């Protein structure tokens, strides 16, 4: 099972980035063109791409614990109201 996961996870991550690049880079390019002044030029984006990918992975690794803690704090008043005094 672990061998399959070690094979499938990098494949899925690669497919995610390829799909995102194809969809936003080819199919949605015409939608971004009217707002070219808002977005960075492609050469600046490519210069920062490795950093962006690294931060994507670092956030994904930490997000579930942070979300679980914050959601339990946010739901505490609602749980108290439902359960009553």
Which pTM value belongs to this model? Answer: 0.46
pLDDT in tens, the chain (85 residues): 678 888 888 898 889 888 988 888 888 888 888 888 888 888 888 898 888 878 777 655 554 555 555 555 555 565 555 665 5
Angle (CA) 73-78-83 rounded to 5° is 120
Helix/strand/coil (H/E/C) assignment for every residue in the chain: CHHHHHHHHHHHHHHHHHHHHHHHHHHCHHHHHHHCCCCCCHHHHHHHHHHHHHHHHHHHHHHHHHHHHHHHHHHHHHHHHHHCC
């Amino acid at each position: 099972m672990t061998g399959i996961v070690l094979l499938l996870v990098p494949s899925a991550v690669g497919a995610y980035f390829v799909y995102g690049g194809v969809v936003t880079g080819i199919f949605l390019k015409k939608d971004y063109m009217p707002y070219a002044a808002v977005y960075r030029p492609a050469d600046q984006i490519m210069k920062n791409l490795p950093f962006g990918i690294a931060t994507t992975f670092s956030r994904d690794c930490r997000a579930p614990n942070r979300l679980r803690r914050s959601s339990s704090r946010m739901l505490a008043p609602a749980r108290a109201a439902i359960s009553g005094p």
